[in-house]
Amino acid sequence: MKYSELSDAYELLESTPSKLAKTDIVANLFNAAGESLQQVVMLSNGRVFPDYEQIELGIANQLVIKSISKATGIPQKEVEKKFTTSGDLGIVVEHFVSRKKQSTLGNEILTVEKVFTVIQELARQTGKGSQDRKMSLISSLITAAKPKEARYIIRTLLQQLRVGIAEGVIRNAIAKAFDVNPQSVERAWNMKSDFSEIALIAKKQGEKGLEKIKLEIGKSVQVLLAEKSPDLKTALESFENAAIEWKMDGMRCQIHKQGDKVLIFTRRLENVTHQFPDMVKMVKKCVKTKECIIEGETIAVDKKTRRPLPFQVLSQRIQRKHEIERMVSEIPVQVNLFDVVYVDGEQLFEKPLHERRKILEKIIKPDENFRIIEQLVTKDLKKAEKFYKDALNANQEGLMVKNLDAIYIPGRNVAGGWLKVKPTMENLDLVIVGATWGNGKRSGWLTSFVLAVRDPDTNKFLECGMMSTGIKEKKEDETDVTYNSMTKMLKPLIEKEAGGIVRIKPKIVIEVACEEIQKSRTYSSGFGLRFPRFIRIRNEKSERESETMERLNTLYEMQKK
């Protein structure tokens, strides 16, 4: 397929607000893709790797600016100036490619396969000289591209496609293009987390092919999610057969074992096996079955007291790529298992929780560091309240109240499944989309941070408040987040800057507490947060897992009641 056909579809999508119309456009695109279907599906979502591989492109604005200059012969300062006024390097490259008169530009007919392959190659460039090699690869694409093609190539590289395609549109487009049920596509997505493979199966095998999709060791599964309960009493009364577990302040982990091969994924499907060799050893020692997929919560613990430590401590290990053994020694972990979805070729989704728990207990030989989480089965509110108090005294977040009769439905907040109970109004996982430069003693730091929620229909981020409280000027404790550390983290993500105000690429998710959600004309979401306060950085969450407009509205309505 010619890349120009994909670019035309991108342009049409960008100017089409209707979700239904977008679905029609994408379905037609998938039908026309032919042998390029898998690449087209991935590129439609602005990606070149499935989620579970978690390979980052790692392309910064400055590298793209240099590449545009190299490909077009335009001085770098002129490219930077144009970027300052437009705020979109896709528009910038389109402008300069249009101006370029040399016949060497735009002569090659770019195909989807060519663009896809080069972008994948970009991601694999590491080590000495990798930046130069990346610049050459980007420049080669710009040189071969027509103006419109260049716009979307650069946006894809920067993961800023801006055509308003969310996962729901892709799901429905696959269903429409290949005449299958959208629910079948969603079920397949929850199993495989790869729309490109699902689209190919739907095309070649139809509904029957999707129904045959099973779990695969090594490919992470979308996890079952919990709903918020207003209080413990309400949660207990929600289920006839209830079990209570501590809600731990850690990393939800999905562990895959196949013989001696062990893989560890986070809830956002990131493969963190390399960062946790100690967990791999625990699995090999304590899991008494050949194949399984089990779930739990990994927490950091104090080396001496074994008491739980805040998630911020554990996050140092999640993000670490080097000196792994030193981190293993400095920050030991404890794994607390609570579910199993696959054992020796059998999927367990349709089994109720009380049966899955018994299976988990049979295949685990626990020890101090790798254990099955304690569970209290009761309808007695006083016993439950004591269990709740014990969790809070142990520095945990609260409780999980689970329906022992419920099956496991991946990828969903399921009514009648799991409920979480916290002691305060639920904190919000929001995305930073802007900030202001400080002055005085905070000069040189980004300070007040603009927060946003996600609109799943448009894939846009809508502002809902500004926050500064909770971040430290000086690091007093290992877990403290400072203005300096926030600035270092956010500076590479700055997309536009004017008058001390910066726009930031929606990438960093933080947990925010607030006193109240209010209606507001100030912010694009229509809501504002009263007294927002920084709690922690949610490294384990992607921007696609942040709070949605629907969720913010639900919390606002609950708050009114």
Q: Which two tokens stand for residue 238?
A: 């929600």
pLDDT at 560 over 80: no
The H or E element spanning position 295 is strand 291-300
Instruction: Please name the residues in contact with 258: beta carbons below 8 A apart, sequence gap of 6 or more.
Output: 217, 218, 290, 291
* Active-site residue, from 192, 247, 257, 541: 247
Confidence of residue 561 (pLDDT cuts 50, 70, 90): low
Average pLDDT over residues 227-245: 92
User: What is the C-alpha to C-alpha distance for residues 5 and 44, in angstroms, rounded to an integer?
Assistant: 12
Res 107: pLDDT: 63
Which domains, from first to last, does the chain contain? 47-157 (1.10.3260.10), 230-421 (3.30.470.30), 428-560 (2.40.50.140)
- pTM for the predicted model, two decimal places: 0.71
pLDDT at 369 over 50: yes
pLDDT at 425 over 70: no
Average pLDDT over residues 436-449: 85
Q: Which two tokens stand for residue 544?
A: 């696609």
pLDDT at 157 over 80: yes
Residue linked to tokens 């799901």: 171
User: What is the C-alpha to C-alpha distance for residues 76 and 82, in angstroms, rounded to an integer?
Assistant: 10
CB 338 within 8 A of CB 295: yes
Instruction: Please name the residues in contact with 79: beta carbons below 8 A apart, sequence gap of 6 or more.
Output: 65, 68, 69, 92, 96
For all residues of the chain together, what is the average pLDDT? 90
Average pLDDT over residues 393-403: 87
**At residue 454, what are phi and psi to the nearest 5 degrees?**
-100, 140
User: What is the C-alpha to C-alpha distance for residues 220 and 228, in angstroms, rounded to an integer?
Assistant: 25
Instruction: Please name the residues in contact with 526: beta carbons below 8 A apart, sequence gap of 6 or more.
Output: 462, 519, 520
Cβ atoms within 10 Å of 389's Cβ, excluding its own: 11
SS3 state at 234: helix
CB 144 within 8 A of CB 72: no
User: What is the C-alpha to C-alpha distance for residues 527 and 525, in angstroms, rounded to an integer?
Assistant: 5
Q: Give the whole-number percent of the chain exceeding pLDDT 70.
A: 97
Cβ atoms within 10 Å of 270's Cβ, excluding its own: 20
Confidence of residue 401 (pLDDT cuts 50, 70, 90): very high
Instruction: Please name the residues in contact with 560: beta carbons below 8 A apart, sequence gap of 6 or more.
Output: none
Mean pLDDT lowest among 253-262, 378-387, 497-506? 497-506
* Closest of 54, 49, 534 to residue 319, by C-alpha: 54
Res 424: pLDDT: 63
Res 399: pLDDT: 94
Q: pLDDT digit string (tens) for 19-49?
A: 999 999 999 999 999 999 999 999 998 889 8
Q: Give the residue with greater pLDDT, 253 vs 159.
A: 253
User: What is the C-alpha to C-alpha distance for residues 315 and 541, in angstroms, rounded to an integer?
Assistant: 11
Q: Which two tokens stand for residue 187?
A: 């079920």
Res 556: pLDDT: 86
Q: Which amino acid is at 319?
A: Q
Res 86: pLDDT: 80
Res 423: pLDDT: 67
Residue 186 CA, chain-centre distance (Å), reads: 17
Res 103: pLDDT: 44
pLDDT at 253 over 70: yes
pLDDT at 146 over 70: yes
pLDDT at 321 over 50: yes
User: What is the C-alpha to C-alpha distance for residues 181 and 292, in angstroms, rounded to an integer?
Assistant: 29
Whether 382 is catalytic is no
Helices (H), 110-214: 112-123, 130-144, 147-157, 167-177, 182-192, 195-211
437-453 in b/e burial notation, b at 16+ Cβ within 10 A? bbeeebeebbbebbbbb
User: ∠ CA(519), CA(524), CA(530), 5° rounding?
Assistant: 40
Q: Which two tokens stand for residue 184?
A: 């079948």
Instruction: Please name the residues in contact with 227: beta carbons below 8 A apart, sequence gap of 6 or more.
Output: 413, 414, 415, 417, 418, 419, 420
User: What is the C-alpha to C-alpha distance for residues 290 and 284, in angstroms, rounded to an integer?
Assistant: 10
Q: Which two tokens stand for residue 341?
A: 């979805």
Confidence of residue 509 (pLDDT cuts 50, 70, 90): very high
509 - beta bridge partners?
A: 431
CB 81 within 8 A of CB 89: no
Q: Give the residue with greater pLDDT, 86 vs 364.
A: 364
Cα→Cα distances 268→84, 185, 228, 411, 428, Å? 33, 20, 19, 11, 17
265 - beta bridge partners?
A: 254, 271
Q: pLDDT digit string (tens) for 168-211?
A: 899 999 999 999 999 999 989 988 888 999 999 999 999 999 99
Res 415: pLDDT: 62
Q: Give the residue with greater pLDDT, 557 vs 359.
A: 359
Tell me whether residue 326 is exposed, middle or buried, using C-beta atoms within 10 angstroms of its C-beta: 0 to 12, 13 to 18, 19 or more.
exposed
pLDDT at 156 over 60: yes
